[in-house]
A and B are shown apart, each in its own frame.
Chain A
């Protein structure tokens, strides 16, 4: 028995923090839960039957903190592509401000915690986690695109689903509204120009256009600069990113995909809007 990794199916399969790679008896296929005793951030790890691509998709939950559901919804596609899935668990107690990476001392730095998880996955599986595919839904989408701004070199493809609001690629606004002055991140710099080179897919349900959503950021500054609801805000951000990329001579790399018949629900986005297929198609295009 190994105390730091638990097979979630119930059988007590465990591996220690330092135990090694897949080929050396590391985590076998299936779903595992890795407590945060080493990295400071617990996570679910899904290992496919055959690790074909060696690639890793990180899926970040929203404020419902449904990390396991993310694994369940993505594992069929992960199995088909032979990709590992990682779903970090940003608990409300430990990471209250994870959507903004723990800005201004609101909990620890969530982006750094995810990097430690990626390094831990590499130690456990030998899969290359120096660059990963990154997806986030709702609050997780906020986290994901901000992570890409701060750590673009660790993101291969970025997919963001139904973010409530965005950090605009605009140096005129301070972080988290724009990309200038990230004092709240202890001096971290947002690397806009490298982030603009990442291929991004933005997904949002066509019905995710309610303006009276209690979970939606209703600050006048956000409504004024990004729009009244998630669809409008996604359109604003995609346009802003592509415009900024063009002005940098890089060409637009951000696509928007609306999901018909889908509101603000992760499971609905997968089951009705086929978000899982869209994300993997984007990652492996």
Chain B
């Protein structure tokens, strides 16, 4: 009953004027606290609000206000939102990786972003602060365009307001991106994992390779250059032994869908420059989605990619996908060094792919073998 009464009072927030301050009562809810930073200057109660993994770099100490009316949200803007109905995503992934159960009426901090997920949703940042959807567990607010037939409707959210500084400027993930540095000449070898589509097995391949290189005694860094801000891939690569893992959210982007090609290339360079200063022996880079996805395709064709990518693993869900994808890359002058992905679970598919392409097929076990991982890294496979 307490919760319900509070919700009613908070509902009026959306009707406030464009600049609004919140009261401590509105936000204070110890049951949902994240343990986030406590700061005397913080907007009262904000630290107790759960926030999505995609917002993990944001420091709430600079939040002073909410902006509400006549605001056109931008990708990367941080938004306080209220759950109005539960759908596909019933949990919010927190910055520490915990997947926290959501309830109708909960308030969360997420970030606006466009969503490209063939197995789930396509969604884009709405032009207004009206009701929209939670389209990724990592905390992405967006408005649904279409969905896969087998997934539920997205969880609905009602934005309360954008988190803003004292001067009213909305806070954006870009405000906390990693520092832009020049890439050192001694950048360690970069191995890129790309694939046919979402769920082709790219992250499994990347994590297995990280493990293999770690077993060989190497310090390995990892980056996910494109995709949607979520922790699944991040934690998988971290757990595999990467000493540093960064993704596009570290470069200030909630997602990379509909980001200009030039900016995607800059994300790639910025993340490499960050890892380049960490005394690593190898860098494993995952490029999300399939080679036909627009941003992925543009990145693979970019001059920075051609310059820095030294080895490439192509992950596929089946043998024909491996054939088509590898040929697609080869036709564009990109050399594939090995195949991997979900199809490696099938010995018959492995046989078909290697016989068609003449490329080594490396499953989880092979990639995490230190001898094979090092051979792949050095081009001796």
A interface residues (Cβ-Cβ under 8 A, vs B): 18, 38-39, 105, 108-109, 111-119, 150-151, 153-154, 186-189, 191
Q: Which residues of A contact B371 (CB under 8 A)?
A: 105
Does A116 lie within 8 Å of B347, measured CB to CB?
no
Q: Are A186 and B366 in contact (CB under 8 A)?
A: yes
Cβ-defined contact, A154 with B355, below 8 A = yes
Cross-chain contact B358 with A118 (CB below 8 angstroms): yes
Q: Indicate which residue in B351, B355, B359, B375 contacts A105 across the interface (CB closer than 8 Å).
A: B375
Residues in B neighbouring A114, C-beta threshold 8 A: 358
Contacts A/B (CB < 8 Å), 6 sampled? A105-B371, A109-B381, A118-B358, A150-B355, A154-B355, A186-B372
Asked if residues B350 and A187 are in contact (CB atoms below 8 Å), the reply is yes
A sample of 17 more A-B contacts (CB under 8 A), given A105-B375, A116-B358, is A18-B333, A105-B371, A108-B381, A109-B360, A109-B381, A112-B359, A115-B357, A115-B358, A116-B359, A118-B358, A151-B355, A153-B355, A186-B361, A187-B347, A187-B350, A187-B363, A188-B351
Chain B residues with Cβ below 8 Å from A151 are 355
The docked-state distance in angstroms from the alpha carbon of A105 to that of B370 is: 12
Contact partners of A117 in chain B: CB under 8 A? 358
B354: A residues at CB distance < 8 A: 112, 115, 188
Query: Quick one: CB contact mask for B349-380 with A, threshold 8 Å, 1 for yes?
Result: 01100111111111100100001100100001
A189 to B354, CA, bound (A): 10
A residues in contact with B375, CB < 8 Å:
105
- A122 CB to closest chain B CB, in angstroms? 11
Task: Say whether, besides A105-B375, A108-B380, A108-B381, A186 and B362 are in contact (CB < 8 Å).
Answer: yes
A127 to chain B, nearest CB (A): 17
In the complex, the 4 A-B pairs of residues with the closest C-beta atoms, listed nearest first: A115-B358, A116-B358, A112-B358, A151-B355
Complex Cα distance, B355 from A9, in Å, reads 33
- A192 CB, min distance to chain B CBs, angstroms: 12
What separation, in Å, do the CA atoms of A279 and B381 have in the docked complex? 33
- A191 interface neighbour in B331, B351, B362, B366, Cβ under 8 Å: B351
Instruction: Give CA–CA (A120, B335) in the complex, Å.
Output: 13
Residues of A within 8 A of B355 (CB): 115, 150-151, 153-154
CA distance A109 to B333 in the complex (A): 22
Tell whether, in the assembled complex, residue A189 and residue B351 are in contact, meaning their CB atoms are under 8 Å apart.
yes
Residues of A within 8 A of B359 (CB): 112, 116
* Residue from A112, A117, A153 having most chain B Cβ neighbours under 10 A: A112
Say whether A112 contacts B347, CB under 8 Å: no
Q: B333 contacts which chain A residues (CB < 8 A)?
A: 18
Q: How far is the CB of B264 from chain A (nearest CB, A)?
A: 25
Task: Report Cα–Cα, A114/B355, bound state, in Å.
Answer: 10
Q: Which residues of B contact A109 (CB under 8 A)?
A: 360, 381
Among A117, A150, A186: residue with most chain B CB under 10 A: A186
Contact yes or no, B358 A187, CB < 8 A: no
Q: How far is the CA of A151 from the CA of B331 in the complex (A)?
A: 24
Complex: A204 Cα to B364 Cα, angstroms: 43
Docked CA distance A264–B360 (Å): 34
**Distance between Cα atoms of A108 and B378 in the complex (Å):** 12
A137 to B131, CA, bound (A): 74
Task: For A39, list chain B residues within 8 Å (CB).
Answer: 358
> How far does the alpha carbon of A248 sit from the alpha carbon of B359 in the complex, in Å?
31
Q: Is the CB of A119 within 8 A of B357?
A: yes
**Would you give the shortest CB distance from A183 to chain B, in whole angstroms?**
10
Indicate if the CB atoms of B372 and A119 lie closer than 8 Å: no
Q: Shortest distance in angstroms between B363's beta carbon and chain A's nearest beta carbon?
A: 7
Among A18, A117, A119, residue most surrounded by chain B Cβ atoms (within 10 Å): A119
Which residue of chain A has the shortest Cβ distance to B332 in the bound complex?
Answer: A18
Closest Cβ–Cβ distance, residue B84 to chain A (whole Å): 50
What are the residues of chain A within 8 A of B357 when measuring CB–CB? 115-116, 119
A187 to B359, CA, bound (A): 13
In the bound complex, CA of A51 to CA of B362 (Å): 38
Query: Residues of B contacting A115 with CB < 8 Å?
Result: 354-358
CA distance A112 to B357 in the complex (A): 8
- The distance from the CB of A186 to the nearest CB of chain B, in whole angstroms, is 6
- Smallest CB separation, B262 vs chain A (Å): 26
Residues of B within 8 Å of A153, CB to CB, are 355
Residues of the B chain whose Cβ atoms lie less than 8 Å from the Cβ of A118: 358
Contacting residues, chain A, for B351 (C-beta < 8 A): 188-189, 191
Given A105-B371, A153-B355, decide whether A186 and B347 contact each other with a Cβ distance below 8 A. Answer: no
In Å, the complex CA distance between A109 and B356 comes to: 14
- Which chain A positions have C-beta within 8 A of B331? 18
Once the chains bind, are B362 and A189 in contact (CB under 8 Å)? no
Nearest CB to that of A116 among chain B residues? B358
Once the chains are docked, how many angstroms separate the CA of A154 from the CA of B375?
27
Judge whether B380 and A187 touch: CB under 8 Å: no
- Interchain CA distance A118-B361 in the complex, whole Å: 18
- From B360, B362, B366, B380, name the one whose CB has the most chain A CB atoms within 10 angstroms: B360
Residues of B315-336 at the interface with A, using a CB-CB cut-off of 8 Å, are 331, 333, 335
**In the bound complex, CA of A119 to CA of B355 (Å):** 11
A186 touching B360, Cβ below 8 Å: yes
Query: For the complex, what is the distance from the CA of A39 to the CA of B355, rounded to whole Å?
Result: 15
